[in-house]
Chain A
Amino acid sequence: EAGVTQFPSHSVIEKGQTVTLRCDPISGHDNLYWYRRVMGKEIKFLLHFVKESKQDESGMPNNRFLAERTGGTYSTLKVQPAELEDSGVYFCASSPSNLAGGRTKANEQFFGPGTRLTVL
């Protein structure tokens, strides 16, 4: 089974520009999460989708960040306009619903390789 994929792997932009990150979760996973790791610190939660609905967006830093998951499949995270402090690695993760059963443990989240964003 294909894992979580993210695009691009790296992005270098100038302050004030716009960047859009994409995440393709594991097929069939209803839950999709965005996290961010800044400057070697902890990985911080940004938001959680259940299908196409935002379940929890308490970690979104400010209104320059916009996440969407149209159709409940892939998700995009747009930063507009980007600031220097937005630099970091953005991870996407997915998990099935608890009702899905199967071999996956409840709460287990599968992470993508991340997008390294550098704002100059």
Chain B
Amino acid sequence: GENVEQHPSTLSVQEGDSAVIKCTYSDSASNYFPWYKQELGKGPQLIIDIRSNVGEKKDQRIAVTLNKTAKHFSLHITETQPEDSAVYFCAASSGDYKLSFGAGTTVTVRA
């Protein structure tokens, strides 16, 4: 089955700096890569996703890049703000609906 590795497990950044989270996947059939943000007491919420026919996607301060050859994808958050503090999960899917998640990255934005 699919195996998704996520790094780092924790990330502390100064407000205004950038944060980068990296994930690798094992199944070359995976073609959908969502990123979820989980705030305290809430469930994971989709913040951005990318499909295998696209190399990069941006939505305001967040962007995701995908390298299918190397089987890795990354989340970039620019100009971080305190409300960006949360646990972030990457995931991969081959289109069969089942999501395979990474272990999560706890991001702390220091004011």
Contacts and interface: CB of A to CB of B under 8 A. Distances in A.
A98 B105 CA distance: 30
A101 B98 CA distance: 20
A14 B23 CA distance: 37
Interface in B66-111: 89, 91, 93, 95-104
B44 A33 contact: no
Given A45-B98, A48-B97, A95-B97, A112 B43 contact: yes
Contact of A44 (B46, B96, B101): B101
A31 interface: yes
Contact of B43 (A42, A59, A105, A113): A113
Given A42-B104, A43-B89, A111 B45 contact: yes
A43 B101 CA distance: 6
Interface size class of B (residues with CB under 8 A): 20 to 34
Contacts of B41: 113
Contacts of B101: 35, 42-44
Nearest to A91: B43
Interface centre among B6, B89, B93, B101 (most CB of A within 10 A): B101
Contact of A111 (B6, B44, B96, B102): B44
Contacts of A109: 34, 46, 97, 99
B36 interface: yes
18 contacts: A4-B43, A41-B103, A42-B4, A42-B6, A42-B100, A43-B101, A55-B97, A58-B1, A91-B43, A91-B44, A105-B49, A107-B95, A108-B34, A108-B49, A109-B34, A109-B99, A111-B36, A112-B43
* Pairs of residues from A and B, 6 with the lowest C-beta to C-beta distance, nearest first: A111-B43, A43-B101, A42-B103, A113-B43, A42-B101, A111-B44
